[in-house]
Amino acid sequence: MTAGLLIRLAVLPLPGTRDMAVWKIWTYNGAIGSPATLYGAGGSPPNRRLLEYHGATTTVDYPPLALFELAAVGRAYRVIWPGLPDTNALSVAIKIPLVLFEIGFLILAFLVVQRAAGEAAARWAALAYWLNPAPLFDASILAYLDPLFVLPLTASLVAGLSGWPLAAGGLFATAVLTKAQAVIVLPALALAVWNGGTAGDRIRRVALAASGGILATALIVAPVVAAGSGPNMVAAMKSLTRHDMLSGNACNLWWIVGYVLRAWYSMADLGAWVAFTAPTKILSISRVIEIGYPNPRVAGAMLASAAMC
């Protein structure tokens, strides 16, 4: 366990992916103003506020709880560095909550496995997670915000199976309002709540889970609505369905597809060696369709559906 923690502390100063620049913009603007207003306000159709930090600009396409959490990081950082300078210290500050949420997941995993299979199995399960390169790269090295939603999402499944449907629904809403991708676990949560008690009480458990989700959503979204940014938040969430990007530079299936396609079509001009060893660039979905391939969104929807099943 100590080795896993030391590795994480050692890599915290690394810059992370290009998304870190986006997190910094959201962190800065949430710290100097209200994070509830970061989506923008008004407009027909609703406008999307352009945020700026040290010459870089972006809009918001994440749910509100992620913005509130980054704003809290920015305000804590501002206590020590009032000018909110763009330094490695800010990168470290953004990564610290990710590691803390990882530790929370570690504790949750240990307790759940301990209850089911004993302390020895729990220690091995916790160690397998803590030293797994995937979460290490995801948070401490690359600085993706996934731990912020993975912990409440996993806790919602545990709560559902443990017969705590109200908490399960609330935790699930918390996860989705941190990162929208959490919604793919909804069928698993429904199954957990359905089976997390006696057969005669299932409808009541489902109703309580739904109530918990609605209550948590109302509490989290209320500041955004009060700021007049409700329609703008909805417009920002809709933008997630319009991203014209096959993949970023992540190590996943679509990164491989984009790499192979770009290299294949570059061979005639650059030669095979240069084409396949050149730095990989983002490939747009529209470009994939333009060169005659099916819309990757269909394949993506099928893969997501399979994951949900």
- pLDDT digit string, tens, across residues 229-260: 999 999 999 988 888 887 765 567 788 888 88
Within this chain, do residues 195 and 302 fall inside the same structural domain, yes or no?
A: no
Residues 203 and 214 in one domain: yes
CA distance 133 to 278: 26
Which value, to the nearest 10 degrees, does the dihedral of the CA atoms of residues 147, 150, 152, 157 take?
Answer: -160
- The reply to whether 33 and 107 lie within a common domain is no
Distance CA 177, CA 69 (A): 11
88 & 32 share domain? yes
pLDDT digits (tens, 9 = 90+) for 79-115: 999 999 999 999 999 999 999 999 999 999 999 999 9
In the block, which residue shows the tokens 């949430």?
30
Kindly tell me if the per-residue pLDDT of 11 is higher than 80.
yes
Q: Does any domain span residue 36?
A: yes
| Residue 188 burial (C-beta neighbours within 10 Å; 0-12, 13-18, 19+) | middle
Q: Is the pLDDT of residue 175 over 90?
A: yes
Q: Which of 94, 128, 151 is the last residue of a domain?
A: 94
Supply the pLDDT for residue 197: 85
Residue 167 near residue 209 (C-beta atoms within 8 A): no
| pLDDT (tens digit per residue) in 40-63 | 998 888 999 999 998 899 999 999
Q: Alpha helix locations (H) across 131-271?
A: 133-135, 147-161, 165-176, 186-195, 202-226, 230-238, 253-270
Q: Classify residue 235: in a domain, yes or no.
A: yes
The residue segments making up the domain with residue 47 are 2-94
pLDDT of residue 251: 60
Q: Which of 179-188, 201-210, 279-288 has the lowest mean pLDDT?
A: 279-288
Among 69, 94, 119, which residue terminates a domain? 94
Claim to verify: residue 207 and residue 224 sit in the same structural domain = yes
Residue 7 within a domain:
yes
The more confidently predicted of residues 296 and 280 is: 296
Q: Please tell me whether residues 176 and 56 are part of one structural domain.
A: no
Q: Tell me how far apart the alpha carbons of residues 176 and 30 are, in angstroms, rounded to a whole number.
A: 20
Considering the chain, what is the average pLDDT of its residues? 92
Does residue 294 or residue 121 have the better pLDDT?
121
> What Å distances lie between residue 194 and 73, 97, 168, CA to CA?
37, 33, 12
Residue 101 lies in a domain: yes
Radius of gyration of the CA atoms of the chain, in A: 21
Let me know whether 138 and 226 are in one domain. yes
C-alpha distance across the termini of the chain, in Å = 34
Q: Specify the number of domains making up the chain.
A: 3
Measured distance CA(99)–CA(88) in Å, rounded = 16
Give the tokens for residue 195.
């089976």
14-48 pLDDT, tens digit per residue, is 999 889 999 999 999 999 999 999 999 988 889 99
- C-alpha span between 168 and 170 (Å, rounded): 6
Integer Cα distance of 225 and 234 in angstroms: 11
Residue 154 amino acid letter: T
CA 245, distance to chain mean position in Å, is 17
Whether residue 248 is contained in a domain is answered as: no
| DSSP secondary structure letters along 152-172 | HHHHHHHHHHTT-HHHHHHHH
Statement to judge: residues 273 and 217 lie in one domain: no
d(CA 64, CA 43): 19
Query: According to the model, what pLDDT value does residue 288 have?
Result: 87
